[in-house]
Amino acid sequence: MDKDEFRRVNQILGASPMFGPFPAELLVPWAIISFTAFIFANNIFGLHWFTTVLIIAWGNVTWWILTGSKPYRFLSKFLPVPRWTRGLYRYSGLKKPTKKRNAKKTQTF
């Protein structure tokens, strides 16, 4: 190998899957947002189709902005934080500790 020759690297390694220009991880949330917005806007409130499409687009864009390229930044806020405490507790094994008796046996009459 020549020292001046560059090593070829697959550029797709480490990239997230895409569906056209959109990240693939957003397809399921967008479908849920779209379906919910359609049910509420068009069926329940009886809004016009154009208004319904605007509400769907607004919901999808909002979700895309909140999750973005690093979704853990926003979604990790909804995970409960573990409660770590320090405490002192004397270790006791599975068996009860036995005390050795050094006392002499005494006979009682």
Q: pLDDT: is 87 or 54 the higher one?
A: 54
- pLDDT number for residue 38: 95
What is the pLDDT confidence band of residue 105, given thresholds at 50, 70 and 90?
low
d(CA 60, CA 63): 5
Structure-token pair, residue 46: 């009886």
Residue 31 has pLDDT above 90, yes or no: yes
Strand partners, 18: 23
Q: Mean pLDDT in the chain?
A: 81
d(CA 24, CA 18): 5
pTM of this structure:
0.57
pLDDT, tens only, 6-26: 777 887 787 778 888 888 888
